[in-house]
């Protein structure tokens, strides 16, 4: 009954149009002493945001720029950026101005390519500013010693989750918090979500690249949330081969249960749209890297790979030294 193709699942996630004309309606967000934009903001969000006086809005140029008040040192400048952004976000939360924040504070993460380490942004507020979010996903799998057959550990999200309740997910996944690296995120999420011991994860987990894509929030992204926001994302990928006698069990209340599925069963669930949007793409990338999806069996092979590694219109590295 599956009518979707793998490219459709990728396009569902990477759904922000590539047309440069489309992007021109957004305001670009700038940090001090950095001519690279760090986010795209809708005009109505720019007008509604309770900016501090340190932000200069240019309604003609479509820019929002945080202005350095002085010739600050880098350390001072970082504190300054964090204070101005936090004051603005706090005011937006207190006045309950945006449904996507739903009146709550959320964990801070670091703006990926900011020159000043570490400029913070709260996760729920990020899509209002169009800032690149950072996540880490690990795929745990076993390989039968007898037959070589691969099986994948796949959790079903709790029906009580705020986002994507009841959907299938990556084995282990979470946001990368400010001051933390993606490997550390995987280590503590693996313990919290799957009861996997830290020593096992540190010994056997293997980095496997990143996904980059850009979403546009749609009805259903989060209940009642603003639509049309730019939500660029960078997901750090990890593979974790575990022995056949390792059993994954939910520990926190985010996971309902774990399945151990073969490749064909997992493919069917993907094409049936049973996975959380970006976790489907994590699984597709896993299948590409492990030689399961190939040029020989997938006509959209190259297009799928390209769209999972989008060049975002924002920096991903501080102070680039190349051009």
Residues that bind a copy of itself (CB under 8 A): 5, 7-8, 11, 18, 20, 112, 181-183, 206-210, 212, 234, 236, 239, 288-291, 294-296, 299-303, 305-312, 316-318, 320-323
d(CA 41, CA 25): 9
CB of 318 to a copy of itself, least distance (A): 8
Q: 197 vs 318, which CB is nearer to a copy of itself?
A: 318
Alpha helices by DSSP H, listed for 4-157, are 6-13, 20-23, 43-48, 74-94, 126-129
CB of 91 to a copy of itself, least distance (A): 32
CB of 168 to a copy of itself, least distance (A): 22
**The residue to which tokens 């706090």 are assigned:** 90
Q: 155 vs 182, which CB is nearer to a copy of itself?
A: 182
String of b and e for 237-247 (b: at least 16 CB within 10 Å)? bbbbebeeebe
Q: 38 vs 307, which CB is nearer to a copy of itself?
A: 307
Q: 66 vs 140, which CB is nearer to a copy of itself?
A: 140
Q: 177 vs 289, which CB is nearer to a copy of itself?
A: 289
CB of 83 to a copy of itself, least distance (A): 26
Q: 70 vs 147, which CB is nearer to a copy of itself?
A: 147
CB of 70 to a copy of itself, least distance (A): 28
DSSP track, 173-209 = EEE--TT--HHHHHHHHHHHHH---HHHHHHHEEEEE
151: phi then psi, degrees, rounded to nearest 5: -130, 150
String of b and e for 203-233 (b: at least 16 CB within 10 Å)? ebbeebebbbbbbbbeeebbeebbeebbbbb
The secondary structure of residue 38, as a DSSP letter, is -
Q: 145 vs 322, which CB is nearer to a copy of itself?
A: 322
Other C-beta atoms closer than 10 Å to the C-beta of 282 total 26
The secondary structure of residue 320, as a DSSP letter, is -
CB of 173 to a copy of itself, least distance (A): 16
Other C-beta atoms closer than 10 Å to the C-beta of 113 total 22
CB of 235 to a copy of itself, least distance (A): 10
Q: 145 vs 321, which CB is nearer to a copy of itself?
A: 321
d(CA 267, CA 287): 9
Q: 248 vs 284, which CB is nearer to a copy of itself?
A: 284
Cβ atoms of 277 and 170 closer than 8 Å: no
d(CA 144, CA 148): 5
CB of 141 to a copy of itself, least distance (A): 14
Q: Which of 97, 33, 35, 32 is nearest to 61 (CA)?
A: 35
The SS3 of residue 309 is strand
Rg for the chain, CA atoms, rounded: 20
CB of 9 to a copy of itself, least distance (A): 10
């Amino acid at each position: 009954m599956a009518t979707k193709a793998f490219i459709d699942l990728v396009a569902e996630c990477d759904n922000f149009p590539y047309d440069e004309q489309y992007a021109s309606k957004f305001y670009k967000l700038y940090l001090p002493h950095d001519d690279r934009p760090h986010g795209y903001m809708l005009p109505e969000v720019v007008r509604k945001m309770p900016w501090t006086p340190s932000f200069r809005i240019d309604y003609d140029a479509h820019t929002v720029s945080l202005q350095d008040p002085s010739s600050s040192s880098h350390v001072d400048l970082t504190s300054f950026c964090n204070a101005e952004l936090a004051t603005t976000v706090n005011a937006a939360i207190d006045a309950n101005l945006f449904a996507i924040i739903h009146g709550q504070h959320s964990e801070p993460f670091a703006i990926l390519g900011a020159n000043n380490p570490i400029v913070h942004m709260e996760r729920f507020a990020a899509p209002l500013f169009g800032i690149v979010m950072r996540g880490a996903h690990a795929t745990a799998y076993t390989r039968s010693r007898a037959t070589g057959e691969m099986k994948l550990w796949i959790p079903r999200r709790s029906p009580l989750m705020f986002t994507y309740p009841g959907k299938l997910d990556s084995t282990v996944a979470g946001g990368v918090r400010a001051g933390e690296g993606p490997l550390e995120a995987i280590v503590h999420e693996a313990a919290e979500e799957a009861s996997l011991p830290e020593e096992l994860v540190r010994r056997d987990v293997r980095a496997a690249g990143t996904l980059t894509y850009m979403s546009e929030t749609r009805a259903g992204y989060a209940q009642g949330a603003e639509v049309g926001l730019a939500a660029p994302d960078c997901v750090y990928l990890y593979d974790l081969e575990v022995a056949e006698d390792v059993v994954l069990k939910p520990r926190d209340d985010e996971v309902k249960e774990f399945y151990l599925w073969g490749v064909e069963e997992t493919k069917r669930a993907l094409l049936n749209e049973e996975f959380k949007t970006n976790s489907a793409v994590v699984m597709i990338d896993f299948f590409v890297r492990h030689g399961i999806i190939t040029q020989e069996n997938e006509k959209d092979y190259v297009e799928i790979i390209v769209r999972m590694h989008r060049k975002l219109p924002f920096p991903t590295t501080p102070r680039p030294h190349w051009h």
